Chains A and B, each alone.
Chain A
Amino acid sequence: MALYRAAPWQKPLSLALLLAALAVPTVLTALDQAFYIGFATRVLIFALAASSLNLVLGFGGMVSLGHAAFLGAGAYVAAICQQAGINEALIAFPLAMGVAGLFALVVGAVSLRTRGVYFIMITLAFAQMAYYLFVSARSWGGDDGLPLNGRMTLGGLPLASDDALFYAALLALVAAMALFGRLVDARFGRVLQAIRENETRMEALGYLVFRFRLVAFVLSGMGAGLAGALLANLTGLASPNLLQWTQSGTLLVMVIIGGVGYLYGGVVGAVVLLMLEEMLVGFTAHWHIVLGLLLLAVVLFAPRGVAALFGPTRGNDHG
């Protein structure tokens, strides 16, 4: 893999898509399909979570199978905040990001000493620990999870309507994508990608490999934490199911389908996977089989993801 380079049409296209996204609630309401605004919000939230994972997976080359833990941590922080009487998202969301980031710092500090398959497994192990902790934490609802009493407010504005939460999620996603886009183009992102390509060389050049990786891991955990806090607001529940390893697997799958190491890989993957699910559910009760077969087809025929099918967005000159 070479360094990531945005295709020239990427910026205008993403701006156009953003404008289109802004119109989604209005259009859906006009079409009498307001029910789907919640679904669209879910897509945005998972796009944020998957993009956060893509930062470490695609640009850092770290295959984390434990990102559900950060998603879940964010959701629980939001629910616990509300229980403690904090109903303001401007406090709760940064707190969720902070806690998820701190958790990622601990997980990363231990896991990043290992490589390859061992890294996959140790991140999974940490996520499992978090899962079992929340399942047995009776004061936080244990198996049943911790429900929220209605949605929070953002800067005083209530997120109670589906439209409001949609725009909040869109804002979070846009901010995150802008940050990630700047980041992978900046020195930090270049170093991170170079470490992915050749760790030993970067180490020899004097870069603090471990520290770069850890910072990326923490940032990624914070993004997932924010997604979790939003998700808790959407579903009204912080459930231990969010921390199940299949959830980590789903996030990985989203990034892989979308395109590992493409800035918008996570977004594309979340949109494709969730839309597929939504369509297949209406089509057959056994939609998992169809989804599984489609994923197999992606592995065998589009190994670099859907984003890669649409022209080269990565510089492939070897000069």
Chain B
Amino acid sequence: MLQLILEQTLNGLQFGLMLFLLAAGLTLVFGIMDCINLAHGSLYMVGAYFVAAATQAADSFWIGLGVGVAGAAVLGLVLELTLFRRLYQRDHLSQVLATFALILIANEAVRAIWGPAALLLNPPEALAGPVEIGGFFYPAYRLLIIAVGMAVALLLYLLVARSRVGMWVRAGAANREITESLGINVRALFTAVFVFGAALCALAGGLLGPLLAVQVGMGESVLILAFVVIIIGGIGSIRGALVGSLIVGTVDTLGRALLPTLLRALLPADAASTLGPALASILIYLLMAAILFFKPQGLFPARA
């Protein structure tokens, strides 16, 4: 039992860190440019497809990952310059409609190019096996994801909280006009943030590819989770995104693994087998509703 909890906690940490890669880009676009981007999940899906396709072509996971992430960054650049730039000043409804349209286009384009079947993406040979930590075995590849996630989280923190560019980004978020009049090119800054967010999406998609299936529609479910994360954390706050990701990742993973067992101890087997999975999948939404009820601006309001 203890081993199960430990293993599931690690899984939750790994899932949470991947969510953070998505949520970080989303919360910046959302918080700084005040733009609802429902197509963020599509960038994740397209990124995963880029990585899978490049990996197959190059026969190397690492080259594939690099090429895929670069490809997604280029795609992000094109989207920002042609479409999103026009959306920043528009109301939320227009943004919802436009990015909903992007989801339709992305899903169908992927289906047209790579077909409806899921793509296979294998983890690198060297990391395919398990490693022993503290008396039990854990997949090496999942450990790598945790390491990469932590490294990116640290890098992002340094970038946003400690660097000059990060200071500009935060200033642009707080007050665009004043920042511009201080001679900072906010427009270019926004483009850079968007491209960076797209690259992080592809990184998450590529890393998760070997664990989950690379398929059409993979972006939607994860998009909702990323939104839950940034709402819990407070829109526009990187720190909130990190805390929110870890909360959602662990609560979701542990809930799915443990709730059915726990309920079986409390309820008759029949009721438990129905209620367990249901309760496990709505747990994070309950959590979000509860947090919003008590803290309507999320845990770390960016503009408090």
Contact for B289 among A63, A125, A303, CB less than 8 A? A125
Is there an interface contact between B274 and A293, defined as CB atoms closer than 8 Å? no
Contact for B93 among A114, A138, A260, A287, CB less than 8 A? A260
Measured CB to CB, the closest approach of chain B to A254, in angstroms, equals 10
A296-B101 in contact given A125-B228, A139-B274, A288-B108 (Cβ < 8 Å): yes
A24 adjacent to chain B (CB < 8 Å): no
Tally of contacts, chain A with chain B, CB under 8 A? 131
Measured CB to CB, the closest approach of chain B to A120, in angstroms, equals 7
Is there an interface contact between A245 and B108, defined as CB atoms closer than 8 Å? no
A312 adjacent to chain B (CB < 8 Å): no
- Which of A252, A260, A299: most chain B CB closer than 10 A? A299
Residues of B within 8 A of A295 (CB): 97-98, 100-101, 104
A177 adjacent to chain B (CB < 8 Å): no
A246 adjacent to chain B (CB < 8 Å): yes
Per the 8 Å Cβ criterion, residues 274-310 of A in contact with B are 286-289, 291-296, 298-300, 303
Chain A interface residue count, CB cutoff 8 Å, equals: 46
B281 adjacent to chain A (CB < 8 Å): yes
Residues of A within 8 A of B98 (CB): 295-296, 299-300
Measured CB to CB, the closest approach of chain A to B237, in angstroms, equals 14
A242 adjacent to chain B (CB < 8 Å): no
Is there an interface contact between A113 and B105, defined as CB atoms closer than 8 Å? no
Is there an interface contact between A296 and B282, defined as CB atoms closer than 8 Å? no
A133 adjacent to chain B (CB < 8 Å): yes
- Which of B87, B94, B101, B107: most chain A CB closer than 10 A? B101
Is there an interface contact between A136 and B277, defined as CB atoms closer than 8 Å? yes
Contact for A117 among B90, B224, B235, B273, CB less than 8 A? B235
Interface of B is mostly: helix
Measured CB to CB, the closest approach of chain A to B28, in angstroms, equals 14
Please classify how large the interface on chain B is, using the bins under 10, 10 to 19, 20 to 34, 35 or more.
35 or more
Contact for B292 among A122, A129, A291, CB less than 8 A? A122
B128 adjacent to chain A (CB < 8 Å): no
Complex-state Cα separation, A287 to B36, whole angstroms: 25
Residues of B within 8 A of A139 (CB): 274
Sorted from nearest, which 9 A-B pairs have the closest CB atoms? A295-B101, A292-B105, A288-B108, A292-B104, A136-B278, A132-B281, A292-B101, A129-B282, A125-B285
Extra 16 A-B pairs, beta carbons < 8 Å, given A113-B292, A295-B98: A110-B293, A120-B92, A121-B228, A121-B231, A126-B285, A129-B282, A129-B286, A132-B282, A135-B281, A249-B96, A252-B100, A292-B101, A292-B104, A293-B105, A299-B97, A303-B94
29 pairs, CB–CB < 8 Å, chain A vs chain B? A65-B96, A113-B293, A116-B92, A117-B30, A117-B92, A121-B231, A122-B289, A125-B289, A128-B285, A129-B282, A129-B286, A132-B282, A135-B278, A246-B220, A249-B96, A253-B97, A256-B93, A286-B111, A288-B104, A288-B107, A288-B108, A289-B104, A291-B101, A292-B103, A292-B105, A293-B101, A299-B87, A299-B97, A299-B98
